[in-house]
């Protein structure tokens, strides 16, 4: 009876945790479904080609309870809302591959750690991962995000391209992107950019689907409904998907 009661408690805890999590989206690719699971702020999970990819996991293993273990962990930058060494160590398995810029990998220990700088690519199990710039404008040595320190990423899998902005403004490298199927674009002052700048940049590279994410700033949450309105007004062909990245 005691074992049954304990099992029920664990089941209730799992149901309660998952009930607070945003329902994942599923997009078809030539290698099966691409599943998109928002977690929190910059923290998200992608599943494709039989692999589970975590992006910027933070907040401990409990926040990721019920999700598949990561085959790959991508980290964009050194700041605490993107890089949490304790969470990485809790989540990774003996086979997890960690990909990050040098400023992050210098603080990691263990096996299967890959450093990518802007412009570098790595292909893992049919998933091509390319590191691209992310930085503040105007460029400055004292900026919160200097060019070359952190990575945005473009993932190509099953004929689909996924862009993850990391901490950036509407930089030329973002605006010049081509054939992006799914984009995750930040917007939070004073750390990255405001909503009009984010919308303008998205209209420039015109992804098929865009998720505003990483939208909690110094003064609270950015107006993602305004972002959607601006993008809709400029290009109704872009599917702006609003999800609650701060549900728990």
> Looking at residue 156, which CATH number applies to its domain?
3.60.15.10
**Residue 7 included in any domain:** no
| Percentage helix, strand, coil for the chain under 3-state DSSP, each rounded to 5 | 25, 30, 50
| Domain membership flag for residue 105 | yes
| Domain-located, residue 126 | yes
Query: What is the pLDDT at residue 248?
Result: 63
Whether 17 is covered by a domain: the verdict is no
CA pair distance 231, 114, nearest whole angstrom: 36
With b meaning 16 or more CB within 10 Å and e meaning fewer, what string describes 73-101? bbbbbbbebbbbeebbeebbeeebbbbbb
What's the pLDDT at 4? 39
β-pair type (216-217, 220-221): antiparallel
Nearest-angstrom CA–CA distance, 42 and 19:
20
Residue 6 has a pLDDT of 32
Residues 6+ apart with CB under 8 A from 189: 217, 218, 219, 222
Identify whether 228 is part of a domain.
yes
Give pLDDT tens digits along the chain (248 positions): 433 333 333 333 333 445 578 999 999 999 999 999 999 999 999 999 999 999 999 999 999 999 999 999 999 999 999 999 999 999 999 999 999 999 999 999 999 999 999 999 999 999 999 999 999 999 999 899 999 999 999 999 999 999 999 999 999 999 999 999 999 999 999 999 999 999 999 999 999 999 999 999 999 999 999 999 999 999 999 999 999 999 86
Residue 5 falls inside a structural domain: no
Q: Which domain holds residue 131?
A: 25-240
How many domains in the chain? 1
Distance in angstroms (rounded) separating the CA atoms of residues 3 and 90: 26
Report yes or no on 245 lying in a domain: no
Residue 53 forms part of a structural domain: yes
């Amino acid at each position: 009876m005691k074992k049954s009661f304990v099992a029920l408690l664990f089941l209730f805890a799992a149901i309660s945790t998952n009930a607070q999590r945003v329902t994942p989206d599923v997009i078809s690719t030539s290698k099966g479904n691409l599943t998109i699971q928002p977690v929190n702020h910059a923290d998200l999970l992608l599943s494709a080609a039989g692999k589970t990819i975590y992006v910027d996991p933070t907040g401990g293993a409990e926040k990721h309870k019920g999700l598949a273990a990561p085959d790959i962990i991508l980290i964009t930058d050194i700041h605490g809302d993107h890089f949490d060494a304790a969470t990485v160590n809790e989540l990774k398995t003996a086979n997890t591959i960690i990909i990050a810029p040098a400023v992050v990998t210098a603080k990691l220990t263990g096996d299967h750690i890959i450093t990518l700088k802007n412009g570098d690519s790595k292909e893992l199990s049919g998933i091509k991962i390319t590191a691209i710039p992310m930085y503040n404008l105007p460029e400055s040595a004292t900026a919160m995000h200097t060019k070359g320190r952190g990575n945005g990423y473009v993932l190509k899998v099953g004929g689909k391209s996924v862009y993850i902005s990391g901490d950036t403004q509407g930089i030329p490298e973002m605006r010049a992107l081509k054939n992006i199927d799914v984009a995750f674009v930040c917007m939070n002052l004073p750390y990255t950019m405001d909503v009009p700048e984010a919308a303008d940049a998205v209209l420039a590279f015109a992804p098929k689907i865009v998720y505003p994410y990483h939208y909690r700033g110094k003064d609270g949450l950015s107006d993602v409904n305004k972002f959607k309105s601006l993008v809709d007004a400029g290009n109704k062909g872009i599917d702006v998907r609003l999800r609650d990245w701060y549900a728990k």
